[in-house]
Chain A
Amino acid sequence: MADNEVTLTIDDQTITVPKGTKVVDAAKTVGIEIPVFCYHEKLGSLGCCRMCLVEVEKMPKLMTACTMDVGPDMVVKTTTERVEKAQKGVLEFTLLNHPLDCPVCDKGGECPLQNNTFKYGPGDTRMDFQRANNLKAAPLSPVITLDRERCIACQRCTRYSEVIEQDRALVMLNRGFHNEVGTFNNEPYDTRFSGNVIDICPVGALTNTQFRFKARTWDLTNSDTLCAHCGCNCNMTLGVRTNKFMRIESRPNDYVDDGWICDKARWGYDFLESKNRIMEARTTLDGASKTLPVKDAAAQAANALKKIADEHGPGSIGFIGSPYGTNEELYLYQKLFRQQLGTNNIDHKVYAETPGLPIPHYDVSEIETSDLVLVIASDPTEELPILDLRIKKVVTRGNAKLAVLNDQSTLMDRYAHLSLRYDIGAAAQVFAALANTLAGEKGEVQDTGITGEQLNSLMDMLKSSKKTTIIYNPAALTGQSVDVLKHLLSEIGKISSMECGAIPAAPYTNAVGALDMGVLPNYYPGGVPLADAEAVKQQSGENSPLEAGLSAMEMIEKANSGELKALLVHRANPVVDFPGSKKIADALKKLDLLIVHDMLETETSQLAGIVLPSNGPGHDDGTTTNIGGRVQFRKGGLKTTNAPDWKIISMMAKTLGDETDYITSFSVTDEIAKMVPGYGDISKKSIKKMGLARTAAQYQNGTKPDSAKSQPAKSDGLKLRIASYLFAHDKILDADSRLAHQFKPSTVHLHEDDAKKLGLKNGDDVIVVSGDTQVRAEVEISGKCNPGGVVLPRISDEQGVLGLAGADGISSVEIRKA
Chain B
Amino acid sequence: MFAFSEQAEKEIEKILNKYPEKHKQSALLPLLTLTQRQEGHVSPDAMREIARRLDVSPAYVQSVASFYTMYTLGDTPVGKYTILFCINISCQLNGCDELLDYTAKKLNIQVGETTADKKFTLRREECLAACTGGPMMRVNDTYHENITPARIDQILDSLK
Q: Which residues of A contact B (CB under 8 A)?
A: 167-175, 182-185
Q: Which of A168, A173, A185 contacts B44 (CB 8 A)?
A: A185
Residue of B nearest to A166 (CB): B57
Which residues 15-65 of B sit at the A interface, judged by CB distance below 8 A? 44, 47-48, 56-63
Known contacts A184-B44, A184-B47; A168/B60 CB under 8 A:
yes
Q: In the complex, are the beta carbons of A171 and B44 less than 8 A apart?
A: no
Instruction: Give the docked Cα–Cα distance between A182 and B59 (Å).
Output: 8
List 5 A-B pairs, Cβ < 8 Å. Answer: A171-B59, A183-B59, A184-B48, A184-B58, A185-B58
Q: Which of B48, B60, B68 contacts A171 (CB 8 A)?
A: B60
Known contacts A184-B44, A184-B47; A171/B62 CB under 8 A:
yes
**Residues on B with beta carbons closer than 8 Å to the beta carbon of A167:** 57
- Supply 5 further A-B pairs (C-beta < 8 A) apart from A168-B56, A172-B63, A183-B59: A168-B59, A173-B62, A184-B57, A184-B61, A185-B47
Instruction: Give the docked Cα–Cα distance between A183 and B62 (Å).
Output: 8
Q: Which residues of B contact A (CB under 8 A)?
A: 44, 47-48, 56-63, 66-68
B82 CB to closest chain A CB (Å) equals 18
**Residues on A with beta carbons closer than 8 Å to the beta carbon of B57:** 167-169, 171, 184
Q: In the complex, are the beta carbons of B62 and A185 less than 8 A apart?
A: yes
Residue of A nearest to B56 (CB): A168
Residue of A nearest to B51 (CB): A184
A170, A173, A182, A183: most-surrounded residue (chain B CB, <10 A) = A173
**Residues on A with beta carbons closer than 8 Å to the beta carbon of B67:** 174-175
Known contacts A184-B44, A184-B47, A185-B44; A169/B59 CB under 8 A:
yes
Instruction: Give the docked Cα–Cα distance between A182 and B63 (Å).
Output: 8
CB contacts between A and B, total, < 8 Å? 38
A161 CB to closest chain B CB (Å) equals 8
Instruction: Give the docked Cα–Cα distance between A711 and B68 (Å).
Output: 60
B57, B58, B61: most-surrounded residue (chain A CB, <10 A) = B57
B63 CB to closest chain A CB (Å) equals 4
A173, A174, A182, A184: most-surrounded residue (chain B CB, <10 A) = A184
B59, B60, B61: most-surrounded residue (chain A CB, <10 A) = B59
Q: In the complex, are the beta carbons of A174 and B66 less than 8 A apart?
A: yes
B47, B58, B62, B63: most-surrounded residue (chain A CB, <10 A) = B63
Q: In the complex, are the beta carbons of B66 and A175 less than 8 A apart?
A: yes
**Residues on B with beta carbons closer than 8 Å to the beta carbon of A183:** 59
**Residues on A with beta carbons closer than 8 Å to the beta carbon of B61:** 184
Q: In the complex, are the beta carbons of B66 and A184 less than 8 A apart?
A: no
**Residues on A with beta carbons closer than 8 Å to the beta carbon of B56:** 168
**Residues on A with beta carbons closer than 8 Å to the beta carbon of B48:** 184
Residue of B nearest to A189 (CB): B59
**Residues on B with beta carbons closer than 8 Å to the beta carbon of A173:** 62-63, 66
**Residues on B with beta carbons closer than 8 Å to the beta carbon of A171:** 57, 59-60, 62-63
Residue of A nearest to B65 (CB): A173
Residue of A nearest to B44 (CB): A185
**Residues on A with beta carbons closer than 8 Å to the beta carbon of B66:** 173-175
Instruction: Give the docked Cα–Cα distance between A175 and B58 (Å).
Output: 18
Instruction: Give the docked Cα–Cα distance between A185 and B57 (Å).
Output: 12
B44 CB to closest chain A CB (Å) equals 5
Instruction: Give the docked Cα–Cα distance between A174 and B56 (Å).
Output: 18
**Residues on A with beta carbons closer than 8 Å to the beta carbon of B63:** 168, 171-173
A159 CB to closest chain B CB (Å) equals 12
Residue of B nearest to A185 (CB): B44
B149 CB to closest chain A CB (Å) equals 31
Instruction: Give the docked Cα–Cα distance between A170 and B62 (Å).
Output: 11
Instruction: Give the docked Cα–Cα distance between A175 and B57 (Å).
Output: 19
**Residues on B with beta carbons closer than 8 Å to the beta carbon of A174:** 66-67
B73 CB to closest chain A CB (Å) equals 9
Instruction: Give the docked Cα–Cα distance between A173 and B57 (Å).
Output: 13
**Residues on B with beta carbons closer than 8 Å to the beta carbon of A170:** 59
Residue of A nearest to B60 (CB): A168
Instruction: Give the docked Cα–Cα distance between A173 and B58 (Å).
Output: 12
Instruction: Give the docked Cα–Cα distance between A170 and B60 (Å).
Output: 8
Instruction: Give the docked Cα–Cα distance between A220 and B59 (Å).
Output: 37
Instruction: Give the docked Cα–Cα distance between A185 and B74 (Å).
Output: 9
Instruction: Give the docked Cα–Cα distance between A172 and B62 (Å).
Output: 9
Instruction: Give the docked Cα–Cα distance between A261 and B137 (Å).
Output: 53
Instruction: Give the docked Cα–Cα distance between A425 and B122 (Å).
Output: 65
